[in-house]
């Protein structure tokens, strides 16, 4: 009698636990439905608002196909160049262990979390008409005009995209390569294959899923590029992202902007679905080894030279623009080093009644970023547990859906909030919500490898001893997941600090964030405004750099995801 009563009690508890679990799993889906798909539905509704078909038959206009072609072409070229630069660097990080490796890897990742306005200011500081490189060349060769004229050309767009995304290849491919057992190449060598044959016939086919996943991710980021093209490319070049912004804000042609957004979302969803399938293939077991057992010290002078040249090139490519930006933030008109630009951030020289001190923007960005960390971790943990469970048609469908905001234009999100949120679009809550949509996928991708590596027997043993599911999670899962959770939190924090596209559309004038203030300062004439932009950008760089160094110290070893 007693055992039967106990059995009924356990069945009732299990039923309650299953219902609570189901309720938790619905939270990220409800969040996506309310703050992602509903705004997109608003865009779809607006796209039918004019006579003449969807978006006033924008698809019949020549500019539509011109913009679509340029967007696809530059994204493909940027992806190929990024792979060309990133693959040798990924090999160096994968196969060699050297002093300061974690620090160098963190430094090479800083560009990825920089807002596009900072990247634009950095490249202007380095190779712009008044940049450091042109200044040195004019002084060295007694030139009257700057010899490098790269601004508002396709070359600076491609260079900035490589600068922005090479860390994706280094981390995604490099992590997989580092865990790949060297026995495959050793077996091929014993059969007489030379190093070139071993790479093309053995290593590259094994790396292909990881390389393809990295390439697709870079393609998505370049396909939805906004600030780089808007600021560095000028009026001659326009991606779909820039054209969405121009149609919505400059021309106030919401139906045309809506149609462009729908086309962009359809293409990005297709690429994202392929990406998640390729990434699942890349996560299959291939006799992977811990990084410490595959990486080694450089042994010969040639290997040392190769390592020094490779790391020097990586740091020069990825840090030179940021270093030039930081240098200009502490130099005042050639009068020596000074902190005057930083002090100017708190001064209202025009006496405007609507002036918001840029220092307040730092406070605003920090408050938003902290709230994004809480939201992203809460939703990301639930989503990761859902995806890490039994693989079936539902998880196969949800995987690209959870990643979809990552491949969706930030400007499209902002436009969706404008056309669908009514009075809520003036609320300060929309900024952290929009940032969470962008940051949560990174949390999910960070947690998934850690979750999939957990031994299920530990949970089963705790449950057999009478522990509730909450206690099992608190005492078993959480201690093991803590490093990955910290990495996800720092990623969410730094991504929120640098988000620009959606914030530019939905932020209120009395609540600017750091990227918006930087963009406003760059848009105003005068060396003082430019100096204030470099000072604010340097502060943002310092915060992002500190966060990424923390990520590298707590990084989940063996993670094949970005």
Per DSSP, the chain holds a count of helices (H) and strands (E) of 26, 0
Amino acid 76: pLDDT: 93
Amino acid 560: pLDDT: 44
The pTM for the full model equals 0.75
Reported as a single tens digit per residue, the pLDDT across 217-245 is 889 888 888 778 877 877 678 888 888 87
Domain ranges for the chain, please list them.
66-114+150-321, 359-562
Instruction: Give the 3-state secondary structure of 444-486.
Output: HHHHHHHHHCCCHHHHHHHHHCCCCHHHHHHHHHHHHHHHHHH
Burial status of residue 543 (CB atoms within 10 A of its CB: 0-12, 13-18, 19 or more): buried
One CATH from 2.60.40.150, 3.65.10.10, 3.40.50.620, 1.10.3720.10 for 66-114+150-321: 1.10.3720.10
Name which of 148, 318, 230 is nearest 519 in CA terms. 230
Reported as a single tens digit per residue, the pLDDT across 87-107 is 999 888 888 888 878 778 777
pLDDT of 487 > 80? The answer is: no
Angle at 535 between CA 242 and CA 552, to 5 degrees: 80
What is the rounded distance in angstroms from the CA atom of residue 84 to the CA atom of residue 93? 15
Say which residue, 204 or 2, is predicted with more confidence: 204
Burial status of residue 215 (CB atoms within 10 A of its CB: 0-12, 13-18, 19 or more): buried
pLDDT of 281 > 70? The answer is: no
The pair phi, psi for residue 290, each rounded to 5°, is -60, 150
pLDDT of 39 > 80? The answer is: yes
Residues 6+ apart with CB under 8 A from 559: 175, 446, 449, 450, 484
What is the rounded distance in angstroms from the CA atom of residue 532 to the CA atom of residue 176? 41
* Mean model confidence pLDDT for the chain: 77
* Average pLDDT estimate for 307-332: 84
pLDDT of 80 > 90? The answer is: yes
Name which of 349, 325, 330 is nearest 340 in CA terms. 330
pLDDT of 2 > 60? The answer is: no
pLDDT of 277 > 80? The answer is: no
* Average pLDDT estimate for 276-304: 65
Say yes or no: domain 359-562 is CATH 1.10.3720.10.
yes
The token pair that represents 533 in the structure block: 């932009």
336: alpha, beta or left? (left if phi > 0; alpha if psi -120 to 50): left
Reported as a single tens digit per residue, the pLDDT across 353-393 is 556 677 788 888 889 988 999 999 999 888 888 887 666 66
């Amino acid at each position: 009698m007693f055992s039967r009563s106990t059995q009924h009690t356990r069945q009732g508890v299990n039923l309650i636990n299953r219902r609570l679990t189901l309720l938790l799993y619905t939270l990220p889906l409800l969040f996506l439905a309310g703050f992602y798909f509903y705004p997109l539905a608003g865009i779809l509704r607006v796209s039918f608002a004019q006579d003449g078909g969807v978006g006033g038959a924008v698809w019949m206009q020549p500019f539509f196909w011109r913009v679509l072609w340029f967007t696809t072409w530059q994204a493909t070229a940027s992806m190929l160049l990024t792979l060309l630069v990133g693959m040798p660097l990924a090999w160096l990080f994968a196969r060699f262990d050297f002093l300061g490796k974690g620090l160098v890897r963190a430094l090479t990742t800083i560009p990825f979390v920089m807002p596009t306005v900072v990247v634009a200011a950095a490249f202007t500081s380095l190779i712009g008409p008044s940049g450091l490189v042109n200044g040195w060349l004019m002084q060295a060769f007694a030139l009257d005009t700057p010899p490098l004229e790269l601004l508002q050309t396709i070359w600076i767009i491609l260079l900035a995209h490589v600068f922005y995304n090479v860390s994706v290849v280094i981390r995604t491919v490099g992590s997989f390569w580092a865990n790949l057992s060297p026995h495959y190449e050793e077996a091929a060598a014993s059969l007489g294959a030379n190093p070139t044959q071993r790479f093309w016939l053995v290593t590259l086919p094994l790396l292909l899923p990881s390389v393809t996943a990295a390439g697709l991710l870079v393609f998505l980021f370049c396909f939805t590029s906004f600030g780089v093209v808007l600021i560095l490319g000028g009026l001659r070049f326009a991606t779909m992202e820039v054209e969405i912004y121009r149609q919505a804000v400059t021309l106030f042609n919401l139906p045309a902007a809506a149609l462009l957004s729908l086309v962009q979302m359809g293409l990005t969803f297709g690429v994202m679905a392929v990406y998640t399938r390729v990434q699942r293939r890349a996560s299959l077991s291939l006799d992977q080894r811990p990084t410490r057992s595959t990486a080694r010290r450089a042994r010969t002078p040639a290997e040392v030279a190769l390592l020094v040249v490779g790391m020097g090139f990586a740091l020069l490519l990825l840090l030179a623009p940021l270093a030039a930006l930081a240098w200009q933030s502490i130099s005042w008109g050639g009068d020596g080093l000074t902190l005057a630009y930083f002090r100017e951030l708190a001064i209202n020289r025009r006496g405007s009644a609507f002036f918001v001190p840029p220092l307040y923007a730092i406070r605003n960005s920090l408050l938003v970023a902290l709230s994004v960390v809480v939201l992203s971790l809460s939703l990301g943990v639930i989503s990761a547990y859902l995806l890490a469970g039994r693989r079936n048609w539902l998880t196969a469908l949800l995987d690209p859906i959870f990643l979809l905001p990552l491949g969706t234009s930030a400007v499209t999100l902002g436009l969706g909030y404008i056309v669908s949120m009514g009075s809520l679009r003036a609320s300060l809550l929309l900024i952290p919500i929009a940032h969470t949509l962008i940051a949560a996928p990174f949390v999910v991708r960070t947690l998934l490898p850690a979750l999939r590596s957990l031994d299920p027997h530990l949970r089963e043993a705790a449950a057999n001893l009478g522990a509730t599911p909450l206690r099992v999670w608190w005492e078993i899962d959480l201690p093991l997941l803590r490093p990955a959770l910290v990495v996800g939190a720092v990623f969410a924090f730094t991504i929120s600090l640098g988000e620009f596209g959606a914030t530019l559309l939905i932020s209120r004038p009395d609540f600017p964030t750091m990227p918006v203030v930087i963009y406003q300062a760059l848009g105003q004439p005068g060396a003082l405004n430019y100096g204030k932009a470099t000072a604010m950008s340097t502060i943002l760089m310092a915060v992002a750099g500190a966060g990424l160094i923390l990520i590298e110290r707590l990084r989940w070893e063996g993670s094949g995801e970005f």
